[in-house]
Chain A
């Protein structure tokens, strides 16, 4: 019997809803019209809003919404030693941009901003935490220090593992690691296994997910050997034919299009996933970052996931 639950992926819409406007207040903070304590309160109110909205929509595994994150890398650029940021760059094929992390010195983990925010969100019911994948992070970096791609990935992996441990301590029941790079460019599968085996040993569920494109069979197999769960984007073509993972996340509701999926379409996607990839635990989720949708439509979209779960 497959255990079925629902979740969202990535950054949740930062504006909308009943919390004080993060957008307006960040502008006020930039203009020195409010102080750091005031903006901190507003950020925390919005973290609460993001979790509460997910729970109200019937999500079983709410995230902390990544409300403070400006992109997938920003909390780490801010907290680790050795990283600064350069200009902006589009995130894969989206119109959302990230600040390019620049490696200027030895990367040293200091404090986990990601875990601190997750701890706040945990109070309101968050269960799933998020980290950037090692390969995705490395691909985004400008390396002015190591000048060795494999070395950079190894150091990033060590630091992200420390972040993951802090998230476990903060009570994360599952950590979703975003690795679109693994479906975008060719990567050495042995290196994937070597890196993610260490994450697979953590005392929580680990899910390595992709979006926009899907993993190749070889990449999926390398993650299975590492004993981590796998996330796929079922709105995109998928060449994987066999996936004997105990934990599978299926991005089933498209977070890049506003048109609401009909129940028939979702039922067909659900049936195909269950039939193609028998597994002990399956999570139906949004295909990628929820913030690609306007707030009201995002709420309507994530509410569909409960319908997917309840289908017979």
Chain B
């Protein structure tokens, strides 16, 4: 749904997560050992959220995120707040990184608002719009072990029902931009219709600008069908593979806006302003200027706080230069 967001040309944003401060990791460990209360942990999560908002204001982003101080893994976080799950011991995702993959053991049900508190908290700290952030039904399905439902389709629909309720909670709290992440889709182009159905079930008729984020997959297969996704914007990682994705998209329909990942977040090396300007210029050979939002390739939780600030500052500077060249 197109709504007036009053944003500049080439709006800048980030994908979702920010690096967790050390004090938060310590506090979380203490909470799990019953050494601090839930309220004490919440106060520190809110402190981190304030720091994330201040950082985003400092670098001059146009659309902000709450930074996901309260979230660990993007699938496990939601599963822990819904009925129907056991949480497994950790499994590895890459390198030395692990996550606790949810196990669906009974019917998936809405229990309580999952993201509303931190959305509201962050939005009160800034006059700029804050995005609501959900993990999509297809990704929740693909990144959970299924011990209950008979098919993948059933699981997607069950997740979609619960996530729609959460999306409504966000909308009623004043959210104007919602991002429903579907990274799992990047390697399952054969199931894009199922992912599209899931997104439609979550978003249909809601008065919010909608985004889905997809990353690190086989876009050569996804590109011909990507227009099927029923969202206003598709956010993709371009920088990590030096914009080769742009060539894979050429010749295919792309009616939605694009979230242009211009900052490679899986290296300690900061993508410099000049390189990002080059990336935006390349993107303008395929997308119209008013289609483009500028952001990092993915969430920033694997970077340090300092790296994130420097990287985002380079990105904002490059975007400002690009705006001038367009005008």
Contact = CB atoms under 8 A, between A and B. Distances in A.
A13 B188 CA distance: 25
Contacts of B216: 87-90, 97
Q: What 10 pairs between A and B have smallest CB-CB spacing?
A: A87-B240, A294-B89, A97-B94, A258-B145, A259-B147, A294-B88, A26-B96, A90-B187, A93-B187, A90-B217
A16 B88 CA distance: 12
Interface string B95-121: 110100101000000000000000000
Contacts of A87: 216, 240-241, 264, 266-267
A225 to B, nearest CB: 30
A96 B94 contact: yes
Contacts of A98: 94
Interface string B127-152: 00000000000000011011100000
A297 interface: yes
A54 to B, nearest CB: 18
A23 B97 CA distance: 8
A96 B89 contact: no
Contacts of A26: 96
Of B91, B186, B266, which is in contact with the most chain A CB atoms at under 10 Å from its CB?
Answer: B91
Contact of A95 (B93, B96, B146, B241): B93
B92 interface: yes
Interface string B256-288: 000000001011000000000000000000000
Contacts of B90: 15, 23, 294
B322 interface: no
B203 interface: no
5 contacts: A15-B90, A70-B95, A71-B94, A88-B266, A258-B103
Interface of B: 88-96, 98, 101, 103, 142-143, 145-147, 184, 186-188, 216-218, 240-241, 264, 266-267
Interface in A22-40: 22-23, 26-27, 30
A97 B89 contact: no
B186 A90 contact: yes
Contacts of B89: 16, 294-297
A93 B188 contact: yes
Interface string A74-96: 00000000000011111011111
A197 B150 CA distance: 42
Contacts of A99: 94-95
B145 A95 contact: no
A30 B304 CA distance: 14
Given A94-B187, A98-B94, A259-B146, 6 more contacts: A23-B96, A23-B98, A70-B96, A87-B266, A90-B187, A259-B147
A14 B92 contact: yes
B88 A95 contact: no
B246 to A, nearest CB: 15
B187 A258 contact: no
Contacts of B264: 87
Nearest to B96: A26
Contacts of B96: 22-23, 26-27, 30, 70
Interface string A161-201: 00000000000000000000000000000000000000000
A296 B95 CA distance: 21
A70 B94 contact: yes
Given A23-B98, A97-B216, A257-B147, A291 B187 contact: no
Contact of B94 (A30, A88, A293): A88
B143 A95 contact: yes
B92 A96 contact: yes
A308 B156 CA distance: 33
Nearest to A289: B92
A119 to B, nearest CB: 24
Given A87-B216, A87-B240, A90-B216, A96 B145 contact: no
Given A87-B241, A88-B216, A96 B187 contact: no
A189 to B, nearest CB: 22
Contacts of A100: 241
Contact of B92 (A30, A89, A90, A291): A291
Contacts of A295: 89
A215 interface: no
Contacts of B98: 15, 23
